[in-house]
Amino acid sequence: MPSVSVRRFVERDRERVIELWHLADLVRPWNDPHKDIDRKLSVADGMFLVATADGATVGTVMAGYDGHRGWINYLAVDPGCREAGVGRTLMEHAERALHDLGCPKVNLQIRTDNVAATEFYRRLGYQTDEVVSMGKRLVIDEPAE
């Protein structure tokens, strides 16, 4: 695999990023990926990142900081590029951006059946917190197409 570079998301990345999210099985009917991208861009924090190799977008991650915790969402890597360090590189960039903002801790959520993702994050030093993750939809998106 050629060398990977990381940069901020730009609009021309949209369709490929959504394709990567689908390939990584991250899209759910109640999360319209276009709306999720629009919501992230409205924050304008510069922490929506893409990884490229030979001009092709091969990975993506969204990071954010709320003043208390950092969050990682939508880490996805092209299946043909997995095990090549793309995910690790994206996480290093996201963690550095969060650290530079003074973020003391990063949280993320993994679906319980996603063993590969759990093991990936463990290799990066993440641990299971003894908490219950809860959520409540405040906006109901129409099913994604």
Judged against a pLDDT cut of 70, whether residue 145 lies above it is answered with no
Determine the 3-state secondary structure of 100 from DSSP: helix
What pLDDT digit, counting tens, does each position of 5-53 carry? 999 999 999 999 999 999 999 998 888 999 999 999 999 999 999 999 9
Q: Which run of H or of E encompasses 43?
A: helix 33-43
Distance CA 131, CA 34 (A): 30
Strand partners, 77: 59
pTM of the full structure: 0.92
* Whether 5 contacts 92, CB under 8 Å: no
Distance CA 9, CA 90 (A): 12
CA 27 to chain CA centroid, Å, is 12
